[in-house]
Structure 1
Amino acid sequence: MRIPASPRSTGGLEPNVVSYSSAITAYDRAEKWWAAHHVLVTFPMANVRANVVSFNAGLSAFEVGAEWQKALLLLHQMPSVRLGMDVISIGSAINACDSGECWEMATQLLAGMGQAHLTPNAISYNSTISSCGKGGQWEQALELLSRLQAARLADVVGFNATISACERSGSWEKALQVLLQMPEAGVLPDVISYNSAISALERGSQHHLALEILTQMPSASVLPDVISYNATIDACAGSGDWQQVLELFRDMSKASVPADVITFNA
């Protein structure tokens, strides 16, 4: 791994916190977290004092690289250099925990925002819900969704993450319940919402309900895609309803939805 050079003096101008932060951001966008970290640790040697923007850029780089442990170390360094964490700082660390599938730390960080007198935003909640889903904590995901709704921050991303959490844990009843709650909450389901619910029904051997949800999609102005059909076909195949499987193949053709390898392996 080649270690990048830090910002250097050009045209008689000495590098400052802006140029260093810009370098960190550039490495973040290039998905080179190690390079961003190298620039950040050279601040003291260049007599440049890092600011919140610098740390947030470094945290974002660790988030992209799913380096949640390094993100936490960097976050906890902020008070030692007399910098206060903000919503972006903690949110980036939560996102890193989500990428690293560390739901316990994500929920602790979210709780810590309140203790730091910071108001979590939708992104922070959604990332924590996603992390809980990956950790099989569907009940925790549902609790966080309730808090999102109470704060009037719930959006399609949060609902989808919750449905996915229920699907991963095999709780098809809750997945379906969350899907049906969306219009009541003023949030329109998208194809991801429906696909996650159908997948949950497939895992729960509920092929009749999966078919019902699939057929309801067009009336909600959401067109089924290959994932929608594949999950429903799997549900019907798992229940031995091969006549319905063949009918779904025909429906895919009529809807101009191309079948893929997963479709033919059902």
Structure 2
Amino acid sequence: MDYGVPCGSWWDKAVWLFGSGGAHVRPAIANPFVSSKRSTRDYLAKAYTEAIRSCADTLRWQHVHVLLDEFTTVRGKQLDVILVAAAIKVLGKAQQWRQGLVLLQAATAQRLAHQEVAYTAAQAACSRSEAWQQALALLPDFLFNVADNDGKDAVYAAAIRACDEGSQWQAAVDLLTQMKDCTLQPSLVARNAAMRACSLRWDVVLEFFARLTEEELRPDEVTFGTAIAACKKDGQWASASFLLSQLVEQGLPGNHDIIAFNSAICASGQCAEWEQSLSLLSLLQRKRLRADMATWISAATSCERADAWAAAIQLLVAKEACHFKKDAIVYNTLIASYGKGEHWQTALAMFAEMQEQNMQVFVNWLKKSGQAEVLHWQSGISGCGLLMAPLFV
């Protein structure tokens, strides 16, 4: 049935809907499955919420205030917390976090139910705009306005995520301690956020991980991925591999598996543990997970760093890896590997391909090489009738 709704974006449809003065706002038209028992106000609040969300998709964040004003003044309705949170989120995406705080104050003044929804939206808006200090300042404000413990965990978790944005790992630890002092049991979400905030301190992250078992909390794929990534940053390949084995053993579903594998493989590569990298790659394939280009590059780089150049080449020219388009990292890894194997013609052919595609040649690996290796390169290149100079441009 044609209701005369114009074609185009969701924003265009929202403008048509509300520009008619509400004549087209009828539950039977907008959604035939809406129960007749639901009030018109409930439906209007939901419709306005969707219209506000569409402002983010079309970069029309200024219209958020117009819609809110129409809802309260023209329609004579009261704001609800979901509507306010949606508006704050749109303003946050537009880097207008200060205006989001004004809306939060309005919601607080009206003592709307479930204020934590609006507070967490405001904290996220501040964090998105790098105003993480302001996101932290909203926590004591919420604690002052809300007496019971409902929703406090969510606001604490949002504050801890702000610590991550500001690289304030000690503040994240302090917030977790504060939660326990207030007889709040930090949820897994809050703990995962704290682990991410402490990602530069792998020892602290692993301490958090160990406490989960003591407090009878089961880590999820986000927990494992965060812990493995922290180990990767510090080259703790053994710990990363152990955590990955636990993740595989628990068989947790999710999209984080390949990321966790890549982090563990990369951690092994940083320490030139190329055999461990290949072992993890083999495990990934046995689990029928699809490796991405980052997987192949991490494994190949691990081999190249350990002078296992033949294995590195074999990985990057494998049938599975050839499905991906070669980027500058792949080319440079191949050039370095072929060079170590003194396959000058192939290495220089790769170099020529990079120049044709205007790719940048990374020569740090050559500049850091010993004198003997540089002499090998000079000898091989001279034998091909080319100059060494372009590699150092």
Under TM normalisation by the shorter chain, which class is it? Answer: 0.7 to 0.9
Greater relative contact order, per chain length (Cα 8 Å cut-off, separation 6+): 1
Aligned pair partner of 2:163 in 52, 55, 62: 62
User: What SS class does the counterpart of residue 108 from structure 1 fall into?
Assistant: helix
CA shift, 1:257, in A, is 5.6
Query: Residues 199 and 232 of structure 1 are in contact (CA less than 8 Å); yes or no, is this contact kept in structure 2?
Result: no
Alignment of 1:191-210 (within 5 A): 191-210=293-312
Query: Residues 354 and 361 of structure 2 are in contact (CA less than 8 Å); yes or no, is this contact kept in structure 1?
Result: no
CA shift, 1:240, in A, is 4.1
User: What SS class does the counterpart of residue 317 from structure 2 fall into?
Assistant: helix
Matched, 1:131 2:230: yes
Q: Which residue of the partner structure matches residue 362 of structure 2?
A: 262
The 1-side partners of 2:107 and 2:190 are apart by 31
Matched, 1:103 2:202: yes
Alignment of 1:1-266 (within 5 A): 7-9=104-106, 13-14=110-111, 16-46=115-145, 51-98=152-199, 101-153=200-252, 155-218=257-320, 221-249=323-351, 258-262=358-362, 265=391
The 2-side partners of 1:218 and 1:257 are apart by 23
User: What SS class does the counterpart of residue 209 from structure 2 fall into?
Assistant: helix
Query: Residues 304 and 336 of structure 2 are in contact (CA less than 8 Å); yes or no, is this contact kept in structure 1?
Result: yes
User: What SS class does the counterpart of residue 167 from structure 2 fall into?
Assistant: coil
The 1-side partners of 2:316 and 2:235 are apart by 26
Q: Which residue of the partner structure matches residue 27 of structure 2?
A: none
C-alpha distance 238-43 of structure 1, shift in aligned 2 (>3 A): same
Which runs of 5 or more residues in structure 2 are unaligned? Answer: 1-97, 364-389
Query: Residues 316 and 322 of structure 2 are in contact (CA less than 8 Å); yes or no, is this contact kept in structure 1?
Result: no
The 2-side partners of 1:111 and 1:210 are apart by 36
TM-score between the two structures when normalised by the length of structure 1: 0.86
Deviation per CA, 1:72-108: give whole Å up to 9, x if none: 111111122222111111111111121xx11001111
The 2-side partners of 1:220 and 1:230 are apart by 16
User: What SS class does the counterpart of residue 313 from structure 2 fall into?
Assistant: helix
Greater shift in the superposed pair: 133-142 or 43-52: 43-52
Greater shift in the superposed pair: 231-240 or 86-95: 231-240
Corresponding residue pairs, total:
259
The 2-side partners of 1:11 and 1:62 are apart by 24
User: What SS class does the counterpart of residue 362 from structure 2 fall into?
Assistant: helix
The 2-side partners of 1:72 and 1:200 are apart by 34
Deviation per CA, 1:107-139: give whole Å up to 9, x if none: 111111122211111111111111112222111
The residue type equivalent to 1:191 in the other structure is: M
CA shift, 1:45, in A, is 4.2
The residue type equivalent to 1:13 in the other structure is: Q
What CA RMSD, in Å, does the superposition of the two structures yield over aligned residues?
A: 2.6
Deviation per CA, 1:47-82: give whole Å up to 9, x if none: 555611111111111123322111111111112222
C-alpha distance 223-181 of structure 1, shift in aligned 2 (>3 A): farther
The residue type equivalent to 2:264 in the other structure is: T
CA shift, 1:238, in A, is 4.1
CA shift, 1:143, in A, is 0.7
CA shift, 1:169, in A, is 1.3
The 1-side partners of 2:352 and 2:315 are apart by 18
Greater shift in the superposed pair: 137-146 or 229-238: 229-238
User: What SS class does the counterpart of residue 198 from structure 2 fall into?
Assistant: helix
CA shift, 1:142, in A, is 0.9
The 2-side partners of 1:159 and 1:128 are apart by 12
